[in-house]
Structure 1
């Protein structure tokens, strides 16, 4: 150990909000030792970032925390839809959408569903589980400085309670330190995009009478459009605790100090249409809606994730979900390189894959805010291509990176979601049986590469077994069929080969993050040679 270093760790995570905590969870599941530092004393106390989409819930499902998250979110389990109205008491009440999943149609595409869990409820679940997995997570600890060389990163950390400093040596640093990212600034990484879109002050308050006014309209959010009191109302417990997002105009000289308790009370009364509403203000927090994407996602051994890499308008919760999925993409690649079964070049694919997703998704988020006429945002709605949010949540593709056989000209986010098993896309969900237990294909992908074949793909199956041993790669193999010799059985009416776009003697290679890396539609004369080349190219060996 370097005598100037107090501690050695493979991965240092800076930032203990949703993305940093998710990175700690995913790395812990993969057996990667890590240290997370967060400058604040605790997880978030402010209810925000509540929408977790299907893809994020799939990741949490595989990571073993879905049930705990849904338990933490049970208070809002019955809330659905976005309502828009002049006030809560006016006649003009319009549902921008009423149900997230009308008729349960999403069950065709995923083994899970959306979950409305506020950040202050979600973060403690992630923190607890990350620590159970052996992660070291330190709050009230800030990154003072860091330097990197060809072999690692040397960081100076400071305990904000005691003032004590220590030096940590890490192989890699993950900067999940927010939109004003000191790490990004230190690396002199610029940003592109429209910049600031609008500003709000998030006001938490108590008002028992409001539940009677809301009645059975259990919305996710309600956009109130009265010009004298516009804003967004969000329930916290559907009983007495609420959040109100009030437009803020700092560009017109308005300061946070202008938002006195009395002004906030008057604004909420006007917005809700209840002039005598008893309101107790319990907190205020400014936030900024912006569209920005970092010009680079990595510099040497330092990687940006979450808001440090991209900022998005909050409508649709695209930003938090994109950040969590950043962490998932990066985690398996760090585990592969640190574990010795992939070359360092694999880490370069993090930017190649995630940056285009952020650019496309941030544009969609801004367009959705305009479509919903989010209070404080003056942009006019576009053509309405936001109707298929599922394409953003599940349909985004990696056209370059750790994928083979993709179409580099294809859109990163398609207009419509159509799972097809093609390389670069998320491996489609299908229900299967293993030893009488029902599981989704999604449940197969986390720690290892996975090769799927049908009964006719025995040559591919044998080749995978031999190459896993020869290259010392964690590669699981599953034959899907109806005989006792097959590893997995399809449920009646399920044709995995058709769903994955291959033939009965073909094969599909899926990455640990559940994305299709490569596909063969038929048998090969020398399956072992073909698969060896594929694995070498994919893992940068």
Structure 2
């Protein structure tokens, strides 16, 4: 590191919104010292970005913050589905879907479920936990310059409160600085994708009478499609606080100044269909829906995450979830490289894995906006058929990594499949099943966070468990093996006699190597003559140790 720096840190995170705070949380859980700078004085105050999908909640579960998030989100825990209707006063509307998880099928696939927690409620939970884990988080602090070299990054940051400049030397810089990312622009990284899709103004307002009009329709969002005043209505507390997304057309010369309190209030009244209802405007914020993915997810020791790497239409809340999952993918790889148990080449797999997922997910988000006829969006011909056409779960939790830190994948496999399949294939999220560990009920997903894990059958002579110990010692890798079964040597016992091997696509004497992010890195369907050598090759390839 540069000896002239005022402050030294292994990782500098630029941006302290949802993705930056998630990166801080995940790095803190892995014991990676880091500093985060955010130009704003505090966390988000505007209710937005609130659909946290099942995969994101699995990550927060393992990171220990799921209970706090659900508590922060409790006021909307009974809201489900998306309603589309000309107004709230007639009966012409239809539910695009009424239940996120009809029939409770998700419980077979995951220990978690969806959570409706607005960004302004979620970010304080992440901030508190990240700081408790030792994160150095500095708000009212902005990045002024950065200069990467072969050994790290030298950055200058400025306190917006005191004007003081500080030189920071970091091994790596993670840019989570939003869609207009100054870091990405400084690196000269361009985009692919169609670009801007539509524009809205998000209006927060108070109305005590609206709850009576809404009645017992506990929607997540309501698309109001009346010809005189369309938009999207979102409850904040189901009582008196609401958000309304008004279409905005800057391409027609319309300015933000035209969105006066009077105009916004009257538009909302016309949209809901009640001319005399009380509406008190409390805030407004413009936002731009776009489909863009960076051509590269970084350069050298500077890496992009979240909106700095990709922009997506808000329909389905794919953008924020994809960003949080970027941070999780990147965190364990940084921890492994900084901890000297993986080669630097592991970080090259971040782009190889995450960028194709973002491209496919962004296309699906745009298609979903077209399917839902999102107010203000006039899609290009054929937009509804773009992107993977499977259900939302295939996008949210079924995405996979055909290339990257994996062994035995088919590189021709699409990153987002047409149907959900979680059967232990390399490159996919490892299957969930309930286990007992010393009397404690856990999910298999709870095993994956701090180190690679090898799971194999108890009571077999295949030798995988013993081989894992020898490989860990010889490669200096924190590889943790578990034997699953009902035998006396079992470390983990499946609940209700479930078959771990069948769930993971192997025989009882096979083995599955799972990465710290819960993705299957490699598997062997059965025994092999030299399990130590086979496992050593797999671990070395995954961790770029060759």
Q: Are the equivalent residues in 1 in contact too, given 2:208–2:239 (CA < 8 A)?
A: yes
Unaligned runs of 5+ in 1: none
Q: CA deviation at 1:471?
A: 1.3
1:361 alignment partner, SS class: helix
Q: Are the equivalent residues in 2 in contact too, given 1:511–1:517 (CA < 8 A)?
A: yes
Root-mean-square deviation over aligned CA pairs: 1.1
Looking at structure 2, the residues matched to 227 and 23 of structure 1 have their Cα atoms a distance apart, in angstroms, of 43
Number of the residue aligned with 2:499: 495
Number of the residue aligned with 2:305: 305
Looking at structure 1, the residues matched to 114 and 251 of structure 2 have their Cα atoms a distance apart, in angstroms, of 36
Looking at structure 2, the residues matched to 460 and 4 of structure 1 have their Cα atoms a distance apart, in angstroms, of 49
Number of the residue aligned with 2:8: 8
Number of the residue aligned with 1:121: 121
Q: Are the equivalent residues in 1 in contact too, given 2:462–2:510 (CA < 8 A)?
A: no
Q: How does 1:132-171 map to 2 (within 5 A)?
A: 132-171=132-171
The worse-fitting range, judged by mean Cα deviation, of 492-501 and 381-390 is 381-390
1:166 alignment partner, SS class: strand
2:384 alignment partner, SS class: coil
Deviations 1:368-400 (A, max 9, x none): 001111101112663596561000011101000
Number of the residue aligned with 1:52: 52
Looking at structure 2, the residues matched to 179 and 297 of structure 1 have their Cα atoms a distance apart, in angstroms, of 13
Looking at structure 1, the residues matched to 389 and 215 of structure 2 have their Cα atoms a distance apart, in angstroms, of 29
Q: Are the equivalent residues in 2 in contact too, given 1:313–1:369 (CA < 8 A)?
A: yes
Say whether 1:452 aligns with 2:466.
no
Q: Are the equivalent residues in 1 in contact too, given 2:423–2:504 (CA < 8 A)?
A: yes
Number of the residue aligned with 1:481: 485
Number of the residue aligned with 1:406: 409
1:292 alignment partner, SS class: strand
Q: Are the equivalent residues in 1 in contact too, given 2:52–2:317 (CA < 8 A)?
A: yes
Q: Are the equivalent residues in 1 in contact too, given 2:191–2:293 (CA < 8 A)?
A: yes
Number of the residue aligned with 2:525: 521
Q: CA deviation at 1:91?
A: 2.3
Deviations 1:508-535 (A, max 9, x none): 0000000000001111111111111111
The worse-fitting range, judged by mean Cα deviation, of 432-441 and 1-10 is 1-10
Looking at structure 1, the residues matched to 333 and 58 of structure 2 have their Cα atoms a distance apart, in angstroms, of 19
Q: CA deviation at 1:248?
A: 0.2
Q: Are the equivalent residues in 1 in contact too, given 2:367–2:385 (CA < 8 A)?
A: no
The worse-fitting range, judged by mean Cα deviation, of 131-140 and 485-494 is 485-494
The worse-fitting range, judged by mean Cα deviation, of 499-508 and 39-48 is 499-508
Number of the residue aligned with 2:395: 392
Deviations 1:176-205 (A, max 9, x none): 000000000000000000100000000000
Looking at structure 2, the residues matched to 535 and 447 of structure 1 have their Cα atoms a distance apart, in angstroms, of 15
Q: Are the equivalent residues in 1 in contact too, given 2:394–2:418 (CA < 8 A)?
A: yes
Deviations 1:302-344 (A, max 9, x none): 0000000000000000000000000000000000000000000
Q: How does 1:41-440 map to 2 (within 5 A)?
A: 41-379=41-379, 382-383=384-385, 386=389, 388-440=391-443
Looking at structure 2, the residues matched to 166 and 383 of structure 1 have their Cα atoms a distance apart, in angstroms, of 50
Q: Are the equivalent residues in 1 in contact too, given 2:462–2:527 (CA < 8 A)?
A: no
Q: Are the equivalent residues in 2 in contact too, given 1:368–1:386 (CA < 8 A)?
A: no
Q: Are the equivalent residues in 2 in contact too, given 1:457–1:506 (CA < 8 A)?
A: no
Number of the residue aligned with 2:544: 540
1:288 alignment partner, SS class: strand
Q: CA deviation at 1:109?
A: 0.3
Q: CA deviation at 1:36?
A: 0.4
Q: CA deviation at 1:257?
A: 0.3
Q: Are the equivalent residues in 2 in contact too, given 1:15–1:37 (CA < 8 A)?
A: yes
2:24 alignment partner, SS class: helix
1:11 alignment partner, SS class: strand
Looking at structure 1, the residues matched to 472 and 227 of structure 2 have their Cα atoms a distance apart, in angstroms, of 64
Judged with a 3 Å threshold, the aligned counterparts in structure 2 of structure 1 residues 228 and 275 are, in CA distance, closer, same or farther, namely same
Q: TM-score, normalised by structure 2?
A: 0.98
Q: Are the equivalent residues in 2 in contact too, given 1:248–1:254 (CA < 8 A)?
A: yes
1:234 alignment partner, SS class: strand
Looking at structure 1, the residues matched to 256 and 272 of structure 2 have their Cα atoms a distance apart, in angstroms, of 22
Number of the residue aligned with 1:504: 508
Q: Are the equivalent residues in 2 in contact too, given 1:190–1:295 (CA < 8 A)?
A: yes
Q: Are the equivalent residues in 2 in contact too, given 1:313–1:362 (CA < 8 A)?
A: yes
Q: CA deviation at 1:297?
A: 0.1
Looking at structure 2, the residues matched to 89 and 236 of structure 1 have their Cα atoms a distance apart, in angstroms, of 20
Q: Are the equivalent residues in 2 in contact too, given 1:457–1:507 (CA < 8 A)?
A: no
